[in-house]
Every structure is written in C-alpha cells, then in structure tokens.
Amino acid sequence: MAYLGIAVFIAGVLFLFTTSSGANHAKGMRKGRSELIPPELYDFLEEADDAYILTHQTAEISSFSKYASNSVCNEVLEGIYKKPAKMFGTKNYRDRTWTVIDRQEDEIVLRKEIAHRSIKVKKGIRLTLGDHMIELWTVSLHSRGYLIEEVLEMQAWN
C-alpha cells in the first residue's frame, strides 16, 4: 500500500512539473522563434502561416490574403491547383521554425522550416503525418504593418 502512495505522489509531482514548465515555456521563449525576430513579426508569421496552411487545405485564399500581396496570393492558388497537395499533418505533431536569412531596412527574408514528429502506429512502425517543408518568405515592413511579398519553396527531404 505504501508503494501505491509513493507512486501517486511521484505522478502528481511529475504532472505539476510538466504543466508548470509548459506554462513558463509559453510565456518565455517561444518554440521555433529566433532571437533576431521581433515578437510582433513572429506573431505575424505564425498567424500568416496558419492561414497559409488553411488555404492549402481548403483552396480558399481569403484567410491568407490579409497577410500577403496579391501576387503572392495568386501564386499560392496557382500552386495549389498545379502541384501535388502539401501534407501539413496535425498541428500537435508539427514543428515550425523561423530563421532570419537577410535583413534590410524595409524587408526581411526568413527561412521557414516545417518538420513533423513521427507517431507510433504499432510496434516497430512509426510514421510522420506530414511533409517536411522549407520555404523562404520575404516580408516587407510598411507603415500599416507587415506584408508577405514572396514565398519560395526549397527542396526538402521527407
């Protein structure tokens, strides 16, 4: 009986540790964020990429159009209809990172990388639910905020 009490105590401590460290992680350094990226730009990129993924899943550009120029929106829609579908998997297993490649006075080029953690299907078999992707995003700074000017797909491994 004492062993059961100790096991419950340890499980409770582990639960508190994992939930409190997750909360601190969300408040502090955000996962996938480079120190060179201002928080406002990082938030813009995350929101824009969520809309970008939604556009690929629904073939509806309206959610992404408020983040990107008309030419980028046209290229994205054209790519959706001409290329094989991108597999973005499930958000819980998707890891997205942003890295600054080049910074000008009114423009910044970022490398976006999406990788997916594999899940266990059955003993000895693990699968990823999405494609590994690398893109270069060119974002301009205007008086009214940020605007995506270009999205270039790079070769990625799966």
pLDDT one-digit tens code per residue, 123-151 = 877 766 677 889 999 999 988 899 999 99
Give the residue from 158, 152, 146 showing the smallest Cα distance to 68. 146
Do 111 and 136 contact (CB within 8 A), yes or no?
yes
For residue 8, the number of C-alpha atoms closer than 13 Å in the C-beta half-sphere is 5
Do 89 and 77 contact (CB within 8 A), yes or no?
no
Tokens describing residue 121: 């299907």
Tokens describing residue 115: 């990788």
Cα-Cα-Cα-Cα torsion 33, 35, 41, 47, nearest 10 degrees, comes to 10
Can you give the pTM of this predicted structure?
Answer: 0.72
Give me the pLDDT at residue 123, please.
81
Q: Is the pLDDT of residue 1 over 80?
A: no
% the chain with pLDDT above 70: 73
Mean pLDDT of 106-114: 93
